[in-house]
Amino acid sequence: MNPIITASEYLSESAGPRPPVLLDVRWQLGGPHGRADYEAGHLPGAVFVDLDAELAGPPGSGGRHPLPDPEAFGAVMRRAGVRGDGPVVVYDGGQGWAAARAWWLLRWTGHDDVRVLDGGLAAWTGELTTVIPAPAEGDFRPEPGALGLLDADGAAALARSGVLLDARAAERYRGDVEPIDRVGGHIPGAVSAPTSENVDSDGRFLPAGRLASRFSALGADGTAEVGVYCGSGVSGAHEVLALEIAGQRAALYAGSWSEWSADESRPVATGPAPS
């Protein structure tokens, strides 16, 4: 299944016999909170999901956005109307990171019919509404493990044995700047692969062939195991999604740089080269 859906495809499916559950996951690093934007206008039928509170656990030693407790996540999804056998579409304000985080969590916990609205809210040309829906309770029960998940040691090992992609901006990878975490730089052996280069100027994903060529040039050519990390496991999910579009399955290091860099015993590489 194609993990993304266009606005016109969604409009058609929403009028069909199995309309997807629609989740609005608008979020920005550092705020403001996406709930206000949702209440000001959202796609008809969309249920708001809070990335910080519902798609992540409390920040701490596991990073800024550690994975949520699976049972708590399942309860959130059921309240939103998600069923185990029903389609789900997720969108955000257009950047795609937050929507990809929701996509990854649902896929990781066993839901196999989840797609991201390509281009997000900006791609929608229909009317918006302020009506808050009250969906019927869903029945989705998470079963974690359907997608690859790395911890810090696994990410370090994969950087040596396979391909570990760093989805952050290149200047953070090099260590030129670090506006959020304790120190700049990257996991030794990781390859710089900014997620911003997976989309066009409108925030839509590049065609599958172009994405495949990009990742192949970075070493992810289908012959080695691939992993991805970012700052806190949000934009990294977007890169996992881009790899999926390109026909490759990748594991996510959910703790990412916020977990890695918080531990002063872990090595840090700087500069443009992996090591």
- With vertex at residue 23, the alpha carbon angle to CA 257 and CA 204, rounded to the nearest 5 degrees, is 65
Query: Residues with Cβ < 8 Å from 256, sequence gap 6 or more?
Result: 63, 229, 230, 231, 232, 233, 236
DSSP 155: H
Known active-site residue 93: no
**Which entry of 230, 240, 254, 262 is annotated as an active-site residue?**
230
Tokens for 214, please give them. 């990009």
- The full DSSP string for 33-99 is -HHHHHHH-B-TT-EE--HHHHSS---BTTBSSPPPPHHHHHHHHHHTT--TTS-EEEE-SSS-HHH
DSSP lists the bridge partners of residue 165 as: 191, 228
> Any idea which residues carry the catalytic annotation?
230
